[in-house]
Structure 1
Amino acid sequence: MFPEYRLVGYSGYPGAEALGRLGTGDIDERMAEIEQVGADYVLDRKLMPVMELIAVTVHSQPGSDGLYRSRVKDEVVQSWLDTAREHKAMLLLNIQPGRAKFIDEVKHLEKWLVHPDVGLALDPEWAVGPDEVPGEKYGHSSGAELDEVATYVEQLVERHNLPEKVLLYHQLHANIIADEGDLMPHPGVVLIKSVDGIGTAMAKVGTWNNILKTTPEHIHMGFKLFYEEDARHGPLMSADEVLALEPEPEYILYE
């Protein structure tokens, strides 16, 4: 995957404008936008377009199982996977687990993860404990929990003779992930962290530098830009500004 490619993508869910740009309007037009935006980031690399589908969506109400999350229907995943393949893109299945465990949601998605062009995106901001409610405070995870998923993905890659598989995790604040050093390297698994700070360019760079301090050296770095939330604080960061970050981000996501 690296350093041959630069990953550039949109996130979303069909028909849900609040969950990201990829779920609004004509999806083929959105894919064309990704390719256009991505052209400013490739430099000496190849572009890998990314569709980050929110496959497990967190909610503020518990639902019948009390887990504060819902799972996407198979036909939605298949439709987005078909689109990804039409555009030679990668599909990442994003998990906002609520009170569910990451590993349980990952296992539920195994039928899709055995495909060579499908990876994972974990969102610890929305991972809460048994007595917590999503949205009332930031969620949390640990390096051990992330490593449990990475071990499982490594086993899938080996068992099904798959190419390298992306395991991405989002981080909004430094304290969302504890003991990150427990997340170990795994053969066949490309570990990427997306730094999701919101605000002015200065604030976003500050979040990047703060989170970078606790990031293990074997983790590839990604950076997230918000079309609406960031724009409330000033101009959206340009590709040149993003690529000036150190280390240079290898995954750039727009929401």
Structure 2
Amino acid sequence: MARPIRNQVLTGLALVLVALLALSQAVDPSSGTAPTHPRTVAAEAPRPPLAPALRRPELFDGRMFVAYYGTVGTPVLGVLGESTPEQAFARVRRAAAPFRRAGLAAQPVFELIVTVADSQPGPDGDYNHDVPVAAVRRWVEAARRSGALLVLDLQPGRADFPSVAKRWEWALRDPNVGLALDPEWRMHGREVPGRVIGSVTTWEVNLTSRWLEQLVEARRLPEKLFVVHQFRRDMLRGPHRVEDRRHLAEVQHVDGFGTPREKLATYAAVARPGDFRMGFKLFYDEDRPRLSAAQVMRIRPRVDFVSFQ
């Protein structure tokens, strides 16, 4: 409302008209919001619009997150390479159905390897290559349409995680897209992917998560998944020093295939539920026998994110 004008004399009809015009424009009746003054726009860059998903509750609200894992065009690295995004969504939704918990349906997730480690140095000498942007964009759009979340998985070879992550900033600006680091494929010195099991320092993990959180804040995005894969203690050096990021849902994802006894022993050896939410991987071909949804949900420390490869 306009403040009342006291002890002032309007000196002409023109002044009255100007005042009434200003009042009529103070609020846009179609939107209920004040218009932006041209000088304000010139002096201050406009903030990005709020993403529609910003009102989504915190990610870990009792649901289980169920992911299909892989990359584009080949089934060798996981089930996502066996089908189109639309077919993959139908499959992951069926796989997620038994993981209903706390009265909530499980959340479908695509975990897509977008930077793939190579056994050869390639033109850049970094022992990795990126999946074509057009192919990744198709998965981003499919996740948006279907209500799935998409996690971009990085296998950096001899490059470092922060520099590789920044190549995918365009996709990470999407509210439904998160990030996963796979230290198995982070090489050092003369190491070659596939010949050794890699590792990453907590310092590098923290650099990557800080950059991602700054992106979330700058773009006014909702909380993002931030996943770190691990199946040996020495893959993540100094896990107790991992920084807690207010805008990231941080997951330690315990990989490794084998018998249920072997998988649970690995989980018990590396799990750090005080620093992360916990993740667990199931393999369609290598696990003998594969744990059921009911068995996974009985694992302690509790699993909140499970993926199929």
Normalised by the size of structure 1, how large is the TM-score?
A: 0.95
Instruction: Choose the corresponding residue for 1:225, options 272, 275, 282.
Output: 282
SS of structure 2 residue aligned to 1:46 = coil
What is residue 140 of structure 1 aligned with on the other side? 199
Tell me whether 1:87 sits opposite 2:126 in the alignment. Answer: no
2-side partners of 1:104 and 1:148: how far apart? 10
What is residue 195 of structure 1 aligned with on the other side? 254
Count of residue pairs brought into register by the alignment? 250
**Structure 1 unpaired stretches of 5+:** none
What is residue 5 of structure 1 aligned with on the other side? 63
1:154–1:186 CA contact under 8 A, matched in 2: yes
Amino acid at match of 1:226: F
SS of structure 1 residue aligned to 2:76 = helix
Amino acid at match of 2:216: V
Amino acid at match of 1:36: R
SS of structure 2 residue aligned to 1:19 = coil
Instruction: Choose the corresponding residue for 2:292, options 232, 238, 252.
Output: 238
Amino acid at match of 1:223: F
Instruction: Choose the corresponding residue for 2:217, options 158, 161, 166.
Output: 158
Deviations 1:91-120 (A, max 9, x none): 111000000000001111111111100000
2-side partners of 1:155 and 1:27: how far apart? 29
Amino acid at match of 2:276: I
What is residue 175 of structure 1 aligned with on the other side? 234
2-side partners of 1:49 and 1:150: how far apart? 23
SS of structure 2 residue aligned to 1:32 = helix
C-alpha displacement of 1:216:
5.7
Q: Percent identity?
A: 36
SS of structure 2 residue aligned to 1:56 = strand
Q: 1:141 to 1:56 in 2, by over 3 A?
A: same
Deviations 1:47-102 (A, max 9, x none): 21111111000011110111110011110111011111221001111000000000
What is residue 252 of structure 1 aligned with on the other side? 306
Larger Rg over CA atoms:
2
C-alpha displacement of 1:150:
0.9
What is residue 95 of structure 2 aligned with on the other side? 37
1:96–1:127 CA contact under 8 A, matched in 2: yes
Which protein is richer in strand relative to its size?
1
Amino acid at match of 1:198: F
C-alpha displacement of 1:28:
2.0
